[in-house]
């Protein structure tokens, strides 16, 4: 515009038509996002983004120009092309969501600037297209009054309206939502869409204790993925349009971001293995609107958690594609949930180790333990008992390994046993962990005699990893031998402490 080349731009019909329509409607001023923001100034751009929702809310009317929609004259006036309207790109853009929601009224215009309806008159149709409920679309309250239906909707519901929208710059998917959640934040282009969206949610949590912010799903996440409590994109709220917040029924401390992660008080409930194998669920103060219709009780939405550390009560979210429902609450507990994506590295640090004792052995006349290999044994040989040259004097071997609470199948140790009286392949008991049932084991044979010179990594290449991990207490048959391993956890020990009993029995012919 400043260089008098505006008429050559593709957006010129939008600017020209808006000015002409505003003059026809008797307005002295019009604001057009295309040309009224100096995008070369980061300060002006940041101010505009943080103020835009307010500008729309204070406007007499907002014109929505749909350049990909045509209108023809019918018997009752202008008739819009139904398919074009429903498939218009205007409904897929992130920035147009606040244009639809903030003003007291929105007037829709076609490519040729033919008026074909208003938000209030098209509310039923718009509800089907956008999944925004009719009460929000029909509302004509001006300004930023908290009584507006928009601000009475839960965080998850408002996020769901943006779940199918996109922006050219990834950060804008967060920035275009600041007004919808009544927050302000600096614009940091270059930080990436995930970081921007996390910052948005942190700003929301400073003003709201609505726990629907945690009620999202990521059905595309790889199996056994771990996550923090916050979503990384609005797309994770695609199925959250019916999730409502419950009132707080007991006092709880405010959330807080710490160097251990998000500190939050939640009711935790341990599930039995028969119920899908989830170790722990956390009850959120929210539910699905259909669950409370005609009922006197509530059903709580729950997320699945896994404990990362017993030292600082850290947890991570698992089973990211699931939101379960529970009708009974539990005791409130303070937990820490890191938002980091490096859970594997965290769990392999020094505080991620556990101690194993082998207390129960096969009869010494049959099998003798000749080798223990774990990811940490080489570093811990001075601290643990590994004298395998003779039977243990106290019938006890101790070794350490990684914390068996990972979000995937993890190999923890090889226990290699030899029958001294028979020329048979060695029996290898592989101890591992499964995200479905915790500690488990598998058994294989090894015919070599030189395993002592191999470390844990070498044995992984040589022997492989468990192909069919079995829960502790089961029996595994290899040739004519039946192997069983049981484990007992000392729940009061720090670090975690497990006692193993190994049984190796040959079947009698």
**The CATH number of domain 350-506 is 2.60.270:** yes
Give me the sign of the Cα torsion angle 309, 310, 313, 318.
Answer: positive
Q: In which element (H, E) is residue 85 found?
A: helix 82-86
The predicted-structure confidence for 283-322, as pLDDT tens digits, reads as follows 999 999 876 655 556 789 999 998 776 556 888 998 999 9
Kindly tell me if the per-residue pLDDT of 384 is higher than 50.
no
CA dist 354 and 397 (Å) reads 14
**Lowest-confidence segment of 183-197, 267-281, 406-420 by average pLDDT:** 267-281
CA dist 309 and 299 (Å) reads 29
Mean pLDDT over all residues of the chain? 83
Q: DSSP string spanning 132-173?
A: --HHHHH----TT-TTSHHHHS-HHHHHHHHTT-B-SSTTHH
Which residue has better confidence, 377 or 373? Answer: 373
Angle at 80 between CA 79 and CA 86, to 5 degrees: 150
| Domain spans in the chain, listed from the N-terminal domain onward | 6-147, 194-347, 350-506
Which tokens go with 105? 């009224």
- Which residues have a Cβ under 8 Å from the Cβ of 111 and sit 6 or more positions away? 13, 66, 67, 68, 69, 70
Read off the pTM.
0.69
Which residue has better confidence, 193 or 385? Answer: 193
User: Which pLDDT score is estimated for 347?
Assistant: 44
Radius of gyration, alpha carbons of the chain: 31
- Beta pairing partners, 489: 498
Token pair 């917040």: residue: 245
Token pair 């019918």: residue: 74
Kindly tell me if the per-residue pLDDT of 484 is higher than 70.
yes
Kindly tell me if the per-residue pLDDT of 404 is higher than 70.
no
CA dist 366 and 131 (Å) reads 69
CA dist 137 and 116 (Å) reads 17
Kindly tell me if the per-residue pLDDT of 278 is higher than 50.
no
The predicted-structure confidence for 40-79, as pLDDT tens digits, reads as follows 788 888 898 999 999 999 999 999 999 999 999 876 677 8
Q: Distances in Å between the alpha carbon of 455 and those of 287, 363, 372, 397, 458? A: 51, 27, 10, 18, 5
pLDDT above 90: percentage of residues in the chain = 49
Identify whether the C-beta of residue 207 lies closer than 8 Å to the C-beta of residue 182: yes
The predicted-structure confidence for 101-137, as pLDDT tens digits, reads as follows 999 999 999 999 999 999 999 999 999 999 999 999 9
Angle at 245 between CA 335 and CA 212, to 5 degrees: 50
| Mean pLDDT calculated for residue range 226-254 | 92
Q: How many of the other CB atoms lie within 10 Å of CB of 337? A: 25
The predicted-structure confidence for 416-444, as pLDDT tens digits, reads as follows 888 866 677 888 999 988 877 888 999 99
| Mean pLDDT calculated for residue range 81-96 | 97
- Which residues have a Cβ under 8 Å from the Cβ of 110 and sit 6 or more positions away? 66, 69, 70, 71, 78, 80, 116
């Amino acid at each position: 515009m400043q260089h008098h080349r505006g008429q050559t731009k593709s957006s010129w019909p939008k600017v020209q038509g808006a000015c002409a329509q505003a003059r026809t409607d008797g307005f002295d001023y019009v604001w057009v996002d295309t040309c009224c923001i100096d995008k070369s100034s980061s300060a002006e751009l940041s101010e505009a983004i943080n103020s835009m929702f307010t500008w729309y809310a204070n406007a007499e009317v907002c014109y929505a120009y749909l350049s990909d929609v045509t209108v023809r004259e019918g018997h009752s006036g202008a008739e819009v092309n139904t398919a074009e309207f429903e498939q218009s790109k205007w409904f897929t853009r992130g920035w147009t969501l606040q244009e639809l929601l903030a003003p007291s009224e929105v007037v829709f215009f076609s490519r040729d600037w033919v008026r074909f309806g208003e938000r209030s008159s098209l509310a039923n149709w718009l509800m089907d297209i956008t999944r925004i409920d009719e009460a929000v679309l029909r509302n004509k309250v001006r300004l930023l009054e908290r009584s507006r239906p928009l601000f009475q909707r839960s965080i998850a519901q408002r996020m769901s309206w943006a779940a199918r929208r996109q922006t050219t710059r990834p950060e804008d998917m967060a920035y275009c939502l600041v007004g919808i959640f009544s927050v302000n934040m600096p614009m940091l282009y270059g930080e990436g869409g995930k970081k921007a969206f996390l910052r948005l949610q942190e700003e929301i949590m400073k003003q709201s204790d609505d726990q629907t912010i945690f009620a999202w799903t990521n059905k595309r996440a790889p199996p056994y993925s771990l996550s923090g409590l916050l979503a990384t994109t609005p797309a994770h709220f695609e199925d959250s349009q019916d999730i409502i917040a419950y009132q707080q029924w007991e006092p709880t401390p405010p959330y807080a971001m710490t160097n251990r992660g998000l500190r939050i008080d939640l009711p935790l409930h341990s599930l039995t293995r028969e119920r899908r194998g989830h170790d722990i669920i956390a009850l959120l103060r929210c539910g699905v609107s259909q669950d409370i219709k005609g009922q006197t009780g509530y059903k709580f939405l729950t997320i699945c958690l896994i404990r990362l550390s017993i030292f600082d009560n850290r947890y991570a979210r698992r089973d990211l594609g699931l939101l379960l429902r529970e009708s009974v609450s539990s005791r409130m507990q303070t937990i820490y949930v890191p938002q980091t994506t490096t859970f594997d590295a965290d769990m392999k640090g020094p505080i991620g180790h556990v101690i194993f004792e082998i207390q129960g052995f096969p009869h010494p006349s049959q099998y003798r333990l000749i080798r223990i290999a774990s990811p940490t044994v080489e570093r811990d040989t001075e601290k643990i008992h590994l004298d395998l040259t003779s039977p243990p004097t106290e019938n006890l071997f101790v070794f350490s390994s990684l914390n068996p609470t990972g979000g995937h199948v993890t190999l923890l140790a090889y226990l290699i046993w030899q029958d001294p009286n028979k020329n048979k392949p060695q029996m290898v008991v592989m101890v591992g962990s499964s995200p479905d049932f915790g500690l488990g084991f598998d058994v294989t044979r090894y015919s070599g005699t030189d395993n002592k010179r191999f470390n844990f990594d070498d044995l992984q290449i040589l022997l492989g990893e468990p192909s069919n991990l079995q829960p502790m207490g089961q029996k595994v048959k290899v040739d004519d031998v039946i192997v069983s391993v049981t484990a007992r956890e000392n729940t009061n020990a720090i670090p975690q402490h497990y006692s193993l009993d190994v049984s190796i029995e040959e079947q009698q012919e």
